[in-house]
Structure 1
Amino acid sequence: MIKDPIKDIKPYQTDIHPILQLMVILFFLFFVPIIGLLIAKGIITLLYGAQTWTDVGTFNIANPNLKSGLWILQISSMTIPLFVIPVLFARFLVRDTQSYLKPSLHFPPVLFALIFFIMLFSPAIMEVLTNINQKLTLPAPLKGLEDLMRAMEQQAQKATEAMLSMKNIGDLFFAILTVGLLTAIAEEFLFRGCIQTIFIKWTGNTHAAIWITAIAFSAFHLEFFSFLPRVALGVFFGYFVAWSGSIWTSVWAHFLNNASAVVITYLYQHKSISLNPDDQHVFNYGAYAFSLIFILILLYIYRNIALKKPMFDF
């Protein structure tokens, strides 16, 4: 039997019930991005005019300022709020930054290397889940909802394509910084930091909390047809944090996932590689099996090193 599957969590430091904590987080997740949206509107209108703000909403690629407008909107209404909310929540509401944000760096550095190889071999698994996800359909009575979700995902794809249209190395580094690093920090502080901790305290079950948080993380992105692979990523990130006791393990994994996608997109756009980043039929069944087995082995090694357990502890 595997015992003590996670590091000990600091005792509960607040009288606020986890359900109320979650409600507070959800409240701020609804209102703070709206404030960011209004700020973005003001900045875009001030810099580029009201028409650019309208074109940002309709993804009018004919507007030369569309890309800049989309980045301003993304950073102001999503990246900054997703970072500010968990930091203020942990610092001023529950007053327990260590337990909720887990900023500690006290873990074996080799875990970073293990995460690197786990993420390196994860694309095959993500491809399987993506292909399964693409075949899923909602029941006939919900056909309208499915069509709406497809339309929303197509709109999100248009925005992503416009933002990741990288003409030079400067655009590449900017995308790596924003999509790779800043997004990873913001989302991990929120999900694997605050929300996962809230569910651990609420359910008393770390495994349940990791899976619930991973599902919430995927649902938050509003991309139904990439729901399963994002859940899998969320589970990876959740166990990285639970076993190591540090948020920086999941930030590193999240960064690797996002930054590698940005780099591959850049190389494809400049015809340095022929691999289309949107191609979901790259691997074969042998690669799927090998990746799964190899990742499970690496996760086992990661767990035992993080928890300072014997390598063959059953």
Structure 2
Amino acid sequence: MEIYKTRSAIASKSNWLLSLVVTVLVSFGVLALLQGLAVLLVHPIFNIPLDELVAVLTSQSANPNARMAFLFVQGLGAGFGFIVAAFLIAKVIDKADMGFKHQIANFKFIPFIIMLFLLFGGMMFNALLIDLNGNVQFPAFLSELEKVLRDKEDELMALTKYLTDFDSTAELMMGILVIGVLAGLGEELLFRGVLQPKLHQYTGNAHLGVWITAFIFSAIHFQFYGFFPRMLLGGIFGYLYLYSGSLVYPIIAHILNNTFTVVLVYLNKLGKVEFDIEQTDTVSWPIALGGLIILLISLRLFKDKCKPIITDEKLEQSV
């Protein structure tokens, strides 16, 4: 069960709409402020002329420091931004205790190993979802919407390819830090650590809390053609927290998932493996179903092996 102890009036079930509105406003406000700060720091840190900033932020700059600068903006403005937003909402607005001592105490080795199999099964099944979602065809009367979504997908894919087209080990390390560590840590603290327990409390249903959070988590990436695979990942991360009472599991799982992709892209560039982030290869149904079976069995084992250690008090106010 998630740990989010608070007696603040704004976080109560009766004030659910106000609480969610404040959560959204604070989150986007923090992200906007930190991204603005990051942009201002690009010139002094990376010695990139001010008139090149737009080119840097649209992946059009030929400056050798452009990719590092862009990753810096992403790391400070997004990854670190989610961390700041999560703590600001939890500590200042909701006056909540996320029980980090209990979170750490609830992390155990055997469930961690099971989690690795769970992630493996999830990746196998998700490969099918990636293929199906990436090849969705809209009916004729929605052709204009499909064109808009495809154009947006192409734009974001071009940006992703630019960010991960590392030219050095230093850029790879920066990519792992920003795309793997900061994104994994920040997004899990905000979505699973703050939003999921709120939605669990407001809906009165743990599963609704997990899947509404996963839906929002996927939606904020603004990629329809990757929406369902990302939503599944969000659901997996949500159940890791729900069944264990420890954010450590989804944080590690998220970091591993992102870092694995980043490293594969780099190894492909070096000619060590064949991996194209832009391609959605067809996956056989038996392999996908095998992955789903591994995922479900591992999730059940994970739940059985996780017995959250909650001492001191019964956490009456937690959800």
TM-score (norm: length of structure 1):
0.88
| Correspondence for 1:36 | 34
CA deviations on 1:100-147 (whole Å, 9 max, x unpaired) are 997443233212111112112322211111122123345555543432
Shift of 1:288: 1.3
Structure 1 residue 65 and structure 2 residue 57: aligned? no
User: Identical aligned pairs, as a percentage?
Assistant: 27
Q: More deviation in 68-77 or 248-257?
A: 68-77
| Correspondence for 2:316 | none
Shift of 1:282: 6.0
| Correspondence for 2:7 | 13
Which structure has the higher relative contact order (CA within 8 Å, separation 6+)?
Answer: 2
C-alpha distance 183-8 of structure 1, shift in aligned 2 (>3 A)? closer
Residue identity opposite 1:275 in structure 2: F
Distance 1:199 1:99 in 2: 18
Give the conservation status (yes or no) of the 8 Å contact 2:2–2:241: no
| Correspondence for 2:212 | 212
| Correspondence for 1:253 | 253
Distance 1:169 1:90 in 2: 37
Structure 1 residue 89 and structure 2 residue 89: aligned? yes
CA deviations on 1:67-103 (whole Å, 9 max, x unpaired) are 1231122123211211100111111211113269974
Distance 2:100 2:196 in 1: 8
- Note the 1:142-291 alignment, pairs <5 A: 142-281=142-281, 283-291=283-291
Give the conservation status (yes or no) of the 8 Å contact 2:6–2:97: no
Distance 2:20 2:163 in 1: 32
Shift of 1:252: 1.0
Distance 1:77 1:52 in 2: 19
Residue identity opposite 1:73 in structure 2: V
Distance 1:51 1:179 in 2: 27
Shift of 1:240: 0.2
Aligned-pair Cα RMSD in Å: 2.3
Aligned length in residues: 302
Residue identity opposite 1:96 in structure 2: A
Distance 1:190 1:40 in 2: 20
Tell me which stretches of 4 or more aligned residues in structure 1 moved more than 6 Å. Answer: none
TM-score (norm: length of structure 2):
0.87
Q: More deviation in 199-208 or 176-185?
A: 176-185
| Correspondence for 1:312 | none
Give the conservation status (yes or no) of the 8 Å contact 2:131–2:283: no
Give the conservation status (yes or no) of the 8 Å contact 1:214–1:238: yes
Name the SS for the 2:63 alignment partner: coil
Distance 1:138 1:282 in 2: 19
| Correspondence for 2:24 | 26
